Amino acid sequence: MDVKTTHIAPKNPVGRPRNLDLDAKILDTAQDILIQEGYANFSMSKVAKLSGISRPTIRLRWANTDELFAAIVKRALSTDLLLEQARNNPDITMRETILLVLQDMIVLLSDPSMRRLFASIIAAARYSKPMGALSQYILKRRGIVLRDLVVQGIENGEFSPDINVEIALDGLIGPIQYRQLIIGMPMAPEEAVDVVNMVFGPE
C-alpha cells in the first residue's frame, strides 16, 4: 500500500533562489540543540533565538518540528558520496557495498554527539503523530539504501532468492543500533563483517 508522506524539503517560493547557507545555519542550530539539550527542551523559538533567524523564515522552510527533524536525519544519514564511489567501481559487489554502508553507520554512531542526536530523534519520533512528517519519513526511508542493495543482490544472483528483505534489514541495522544507541557499547567498523555474515552467511 502506498503511503502519502509530507514533503520535508525546504519550501521555496517560485522564482526565488533558495539560500542554502541559511538552510544549513538553521539545521546546524537545531541539531546542536538536540545534541546538547535533547528533544524535551527543543523548540522552534529556541532555534530562532540561537540562530538569529526569525521563526517565520524558519517555517517557510520547515512548517513544524517534524519536518525539521526529518531534514536533520536525512542530512546526517546521507550516503550519496559513498554510493557514488561504489557505483564507479565496477568490481565491487552488493555485499561489499552493504559492508561499506554499515561501517559508515558504525563510524557515525561512534561519535557521542551523533548518538545523542539520534537518541533525541528517536524520542521525537515516539511522540510524533503517526502520520506526521518525521514518523512517515522514518517509516518510508527505513533502510532504504540497504533495501535497494539487498534487492539488487537478490536480482543479480549474489544473494539467495529466499531471503526475506525486511528481516535482512532488521538483521543488518538492528545489532548496530542496539549496541550503539540503546546500550551505548562501542563497536568497531570491522565488526560489520560479522553482521553481514550473520545475515547472508560467510563468503
What are the pLDDT digits (tens) for 114-143?
A: 999 988 988 888 777 665 677 777 766 667
Residue 122 lies in a domain: yes
Residue 44 lies in a domain: no
Residue 90 lies in a domain: yes
Number of domains in the chain: 1
Q: What are 59's three cell numbers?
A: 517555517
- Which single residue is written with the C-alpha cell 545475515? 199
Residue 172 lies in a domain: yes
Whole-angstrom Cα distance, residue 66 to residue 135?
A: 8
| 192 within 8 A of 102, measured Cβ to Cβ | yes
Residue 45 lies in a domain: no
Residue 9 lies in a domain: no
pLDDT surpassing 50 at residue 26: yes
Which of 107, 112, 133, 110 shows the shortest CA–CA distance to 35?
112
**Amino acid at the residue 97:** T
Residue 10 is given by DSSP the state P
CATH code, domain carrying 173: 1.10.357.10
Please write the tens of the pLDDT for every residue from 43-96.
Answer: 999 999 999 999 999 999 999 998 999 899 888 887 777 777 777 788 899 999
The boundaries of the domain holding residue 142 are 65-200
Indicate the pTM of the whole model.
Answer: 0.76
